[in-house]
Each structure stands twice: as structure tokens, then as C-alpha cells.
Structure 1
């Protein structure tokens, strides 16, 4: 018997309000598997409708990554990280959550609003005046950012309940880097993925929900699997809470994120941080092999969380 996806428990609402009007911001109609799962959840929900797609797919500005990210990837600061991830991808056999899927046919009947992916390093999906007016006319409740381009400042206050996006890592500690990168480098036992409502400043906003996962210290590929696949329910759950229980309920439980200077948090991945992690990993692996050879293997502790639905209780 196959378990139901966790998101399937949030597809029906008894709220009396009209269906939520949702906008989706994408870089392209071809998206990663995890992002496609979020879109499928919203399409399957009986209390939400995708009314428009904001598409930042200017081909001159977007060839897989933004110009700003291309400059960073080409710099010497990322050489060690690119080498490690390339080697890890060769040896790891995991289901890649970033593997691309064409979602265009599923959104064929949805209005598309074209945006320009800014190439000045700001990574913004810029809308012209006509685009802003079309977005205002869509009368959206929420915009969900699933692309890499950051939303235009002009649209942050257009949806009634804000622009939502996934945030990987502790916002008080990590500002940059690939998803779930710093937890592995720093040796954090858990990796956090949050659903963030953007504020009017780049570091402002509020956390609407979070999911935690055991950190895989040894493999960048394996480290991404559970956080990316296992956090997709955060969007449909927050939309269900908004429709079922109302905005006041959701707002009362949101955690405010105070704006923070970028130089107060760790950014990366620098060569030094990656090399330090790789050396520590090599030392741990060598030590385990030596102990195993002499019959003194180290115990490995793992933990899992399970949710029982419909349980009547023990009393």
C-alpha cells in the first residue's frame, strides 16, 4: 500500500470564502520536479485557482542562470564547490528534485504576463507598466515565486496576502549559497526549509511555515533530496490555512523576520569553506574505516518523524 502524499491532506477546505486567486512566478515553463509538485497541488485544490503566470523568460537574459549568477559561477570563489558537486553527481544515484519537467500544458489556459529578467545583477523580474496593470487587474490573493528571479518591487504589495517563496536555511545565519549548502558545511544536525512571505525589503518578511530534515553531511546531491521534495507541501498547507481559518489566523502564527545587513550572515560557497568540509569528511571516513577494520565501528544514530492521521488516541 502506497502512502498518500502529505500535501493531499490539504486539497479540500470547508471555508466559506471564494476560491483563492493565485499567481505563479516562473523563469520558464520548464521547471524542476519539486516546483512542478507545488503547481500540481494548487491545480488539484478545490479552494484555489491559478489566475496568471508571471514569466521571466527573456532569452537574452536567461540561459539557465542570470548574468549575476554566471559571473559568480565563473569566479574562482566557486571552483571547489563546482568540483565537489560534479564528482558527487557522478557517484550518487538519487532522484534529482531539480530534474526539469515541462509544466506548460498544465498551464495552457492560464493568462501569462511577460517580465524581463534584469541583467544588472539584481536578479529581478521587471514588469513594464502594462504588466503591472494586468497583474493588478488579476486581483490576486497570493503570488508564489517558484523561479530564481526575484519579484519586482512594484508587485510586492499587489496580492492581498503577499508574495510567497521558499527559503532554504536559517535566515538569521545564512544569506547565500546553493539550497541546503551551509547546513552540510557547518555540520548542523537539521536542515530547515521555510515558506517566507516577502516584505518590502530584501531581508524583510515573515515565515508562514517550516519543515526540518536530518542533514546529510557527506553528499551535496543526497542533502538536497529530502529538503526539496519534502517541503513542497508548505505552499498548499499555507493556502489551506488561509482559506479554511482566515488571514488573521495565519498572520497570528507567522514569525516576523527582521531585516539584517548582508555582511552579518555567512555567504558562500567559498573555496576555503568547501575545502575545510571536504578534509573533515575525508578524516571522518578514514577514521570509520580504521575502526571498522579493528572491530570498533562507531554506532550511527538516525531519527524519523511520523504523523498518524485519524488516530483516536490511547485513552
Structure 2
């Protein structure tokens, strides 16, 4: 790699949180940059005064009760990363009440390293000449949505105030707090119960923000990368964020009782109201949806419809409460009536989200089988039954709601993945392409993940073309799993770039009592959807 980017780390201690350790490890192992030096704070100091007592007590109880494995905040010695032998520049910053700046001699030592990027993993608010030394700036994380909340503590207020989503950003620092140029932005669904769990999944996901940006710069160059970042941020609607800090004791008491009441009500509702999914069918243009009765002891979800010369066939996940797993069922649609659902594909593990199409004289089906890593492709020449496993590809990946589309002579595979085993499966959409789906030699898109937002990432059905535009149904699971569907209009789509915008939002509002919908598919004559209620 010519002219590798030169990276420096700003640390308070050589013992760093596990998520930061893993981030540096990824950069080095993937040869994304030359991590050549560490700027080590010789007298780290906390920002401001000590946090209020009740906040500290609550945080400790939360960490004790809601333990996480692996723990993103476990400390690890950064010098134990294999092959990492950095120069260490020890500094004594000029410390004010909330900020740190650097002596001239320390600034000169850093300048001599000619850094392209400094990654802030320590120190407090940075001020002064240091911010202008690296050619691409000082990169810093804000584990919160800086459009909504600045300050901290990270991932705390989202839980305690009952916000549905928790943002996280990577930004180039400026003199204003949490107001630098954002170069990566993501959103997760907030854990309603635990701050520690909420932060753990967000931090594990965010460790990949820096490696992704370094890889993108290496791929398209600095100028194209800057332009790409600027265009993304122009589409973000600005707001007036509130500045947060740890709550005082009286505020913490009030937050605790509101948090307790909210979670007791939620858990009670879940305890006494069984989760029920149902599927619906309507004639295209008719508007009136007809509910399909769930077979006894099961529910139906993830509907998919395919029409051929013999008629229409309705596929769906059939979940059996007694077995606590799903299989794929199929029923025939005749005279606008849906027949009895029969098992089409069953495995010892959970299956869902059937995706069926005909090609080369045979019918093919992808299913979600995320409990088993890999992309499972089934085939039959005796449709609609006799499905046989044809191959399993992408063996090292757990894929969620795999959706295939043929465009420009290529097959395109959309599916959600976890960036890290402890991250959420709802947050990030990955795109692959191949000339031959049978062989399954899927190539990853260079912008993966193409979406990092719980509100519009996970697939919700087959892509479709209308008036010269392509549209992708997506799940919005910020409020809860399967809350609603967004129809995303694809703006750019090639092997080099991808972008989309929200065109339409579909709520589960066609019958009283429904609280969600997360799959929509259509054929020539019918539209099928599912719904959720408790």
C-alpha cells in the first residue's frame, strides 16, 4: 500500500478499554494504516467535579446486575497487540478546568511524526494548536447522537429518558464541544433496562468506525473521501442539541422512579400478553387486507408470494410455540382464497424469512438461519415441495433477512450482520454482489455496511422497481422489533457506491391493536404483509 496513513493515539494510560484495544488491533492486522506513536498523558485528570453520589451508586448496581460478556470496558494493555511497537511521547498537558492543551515542545515532538490522524482515546476537551497538526484532523468518538445530546454520560440519558434510539458518531474535533465535522454516524435501538448493556453494544459496534474510514480513504483517496463525507452530512437534518451532564441526586431519584415505572409496565405487559404475529393478503389496488388465521399452536410471519403459470403460492415462517422455533410453510392461493399451510422446509434450528424465485428451470429459496452461520440456498424442481439444501455460502457470517435482487447483469444480496458478536443484528446492512448466485462467490461492497441505522437497515421484503427507480423495503425497529416499515428509494447503486433515502413510512394502522409490521412483498396480483401485537 503506497503512502500508508500515519496514525498517532492520544491515551491517558497504556491500559485501555477492550473496545479501543480491538480497534487498534483491527487497524494493524488489516494493514489499514501505520500506527506509529502514542501520546501518553502523564497526569490524567477527570473533567469537572466528581459525579453525584446517587448516579455513581446506580451505575455500580447496573454494572453488577447486568453483566456483559465480552465486556467492552475491560482493561487491556495496548502494547500487547501483536506487532505493535509504537514510539511513546510522554506529555504533561496544560490543564484548565475542563480542557487540556499542549506545551510547544510537546507539539513539536508530535509534528515530527507527520501524523495524518490523531485518534483521541484519552485526555479531556482538547484545545489549541494540536487540533491542526494532523492533516486529516484529530478523530474522536461521541457515544451519543450529537444532533440530540452533547456532553454525557455516554449511553445513559437514552435509557433513563426512555429514548428509542442511541446514536454514536466519529468526528474531527473542533474548538466547540461535540460540534466537529462528523465522518461516521450510526444509530442503535436503546436497551430500555440497562445503561451498561446499552453502552456495551454501542461501543463494540463503534470500534469499526475508524477502520472503515481508513479503508475508505485507502480505496478512493482523501479528496473523494472528504467529498463523500460532506455529502452524507448535508442530508442530515440539523437540530438544537441539549447539553447533558451526570444528574444531581434529586434528578437521579426522579429518573430512577420514572425508569422503574416504565420497565415494570413494559415487563408486565409482556408477561401477560403473548407475542402474536399474523399475515395479511390483499389484491393489488383493492386496499382491503384480509387476515390469514394462524394454525393452532403457531403463528405466521415473514410472508412471501410468488406467482407462476399454475397460480399463486404463499410462503411464510411458521413458528411453533411448543418447539420455540420456526420452519418455512407454503399454501396455495386459489380464487383469492389462501389454502392450508404445509411445511416446505424444516431444520433442527430456527428458520424464517423465506425468499423464493424461479430461474434456470428450477425454484430457489434463501431463508434466514442466523442461528447457523452461513447463507443457506434451497432448490426444488418439483415446486412447491421437495426442497433440498443446495449449498451454504458465507460460512463465517450470520446473515439476517437475506434478500436477493438481479440488476445490471449481477445478483445483489442484501442482509444484516453484526459488526461484532456483542453488537446488535438490527443496526447494519451489508451488500454483496455476484455474477452467479448458484456458485455463491459473493463479493462485499466497498461501502459495507451500506446502512448503519436501526431505523432503516434490516431488509423487510423484496426490492422493486417503479417509475424508473429502485425501492428497498426496510425495517424500522428503533421503538421495538418490527415496529414499522420504511420504503427506501435507492439514489446510487453500483459496485462502487450505494446510497438511499426514505420515500415512505408504512405503519401497522389498518386494524386497532396492531403495534408493528416488518415484512411486505408483492406479486403481479397480490400484496402480502405481516403484523405484530401483544
The two structures share one fold, judged by TM-score above 0.5: yes
Residues 160-199 of structure 1 deviation map (CA, whole Å, 9 limit, x = unaligned): 1111011121223322222111211222211111110112
- The equivalent residue for 1:222 is 197
For the pair 1:115 / 2:91, whether they are aligned, the reply is yes
**More helix by percentage:** 1
Over 3 Å counting, the alpha-carbon distance change for 1:245 and 1:111 in structure 2 is same
CA distance in structure 2 between the aligned counterparts of 1:195 and 1:145, rounded to whole angstroms: 10
Q: Is the 8 A contact 1:18 1:47 kept in 2?
A: no
Contact persistence 2:141–2:170 (CA under 8 A): yes
Distance of aligned partners of 1:115 and 1:152 in 2 relative to their CA distance in 1, 3 Å threshold: farther
Once the two structures are TM-superposed, the CA of residue 297 in structure 1 deviates from its matched residue by 5.6
Distance 2:253 2:275 in 1: 25
In structure 2, relative to structure 1, the CA distance for the partners of 1:178 and 1:18 (3 Å cut) is: same
Residue in 2 aligned with 1:12?
Answer: none
How far 1:25 moved relative to its partner? Answer: 0.7
Cα–Cα, structure 1 residues 242 and 278, in superposed 2: closer, same or farther, change >3 Å? same
> What are the equivalent positions in structure 2 for 1:1-315 lying under 5 Å apart?
17-58=2-43, 62=44, 66-69=45-48, 71-73=49-51, 78-95=52-69, 96-106=71-81, 109-124=85-100, 126-252=101-227, 253-254=229-230, 255=233, 265-271=242-248, 272-288=250-266, 290-291=268-269, 295-296=272-273, 304-305=426-427, 307-308=429-430, 310-312=432-434
Helix, strand or coil for the counterpart of 1:40?
helix
**Distance (whole Å) between structure 2 residues aligned to residue 133 and residue 173 of structure 1:** 37
The alignment partner of 2:149 has SS state of coil
- Structure 1 pair 265–29 and aligned structure 2 pair: CA distance change class (3 A): same
Measure the CA separation in 2 of the matches of 1:215 and 1:286.
Answer: 17
Larger Rg: 2
How many angstroms does 1:150 deviate by? 3.5
List gaps (5 residues or longer) in structure 2: 278-423, 438-461, 464-534
Aligned counterparts of 2:266 and 2:157: Cα–Cα separation in 1: 24
Kindly indicate which of the two structures has a greater share of residues assigned to strand: 2
In the TM superposition, residue 154 of structure 1 has moved relative to its aligned partner by: 1.4
SS at match of 1:310: strand
For residues 96 and 61 of structure 2, what CA distance do their matches in structure 1 show?
A: 32
Greater Cα offset, 245-254 or 272-281: 272-281
TM-score by length of 1: 0.79
Q: CA deviation at 1:243?
A: 1.9
Residues 201-231 of structure 1: CA deviation (Å, up to 9, x unaligned): 4454211011221101211111111100111
C-alpha separation in 2, matches of 1:236 and 1:46: 10
| Post-superposition CA distance 1:53-108 (Å, at most 9, x none) | 111132xxx3xxx2444x232xxxx2221121121122112132111111124486
- Do the aligned residues in 2 keep the contact of 1:180 with 1:223 (CA within 8 Å)? yes
Whole-angstrom CA distance in 1 between matches of 2:97 and 2:276: 47
The answer (yes or no) to whether the contact 1:191–1:214 under 8 Å persists in 2 is yes
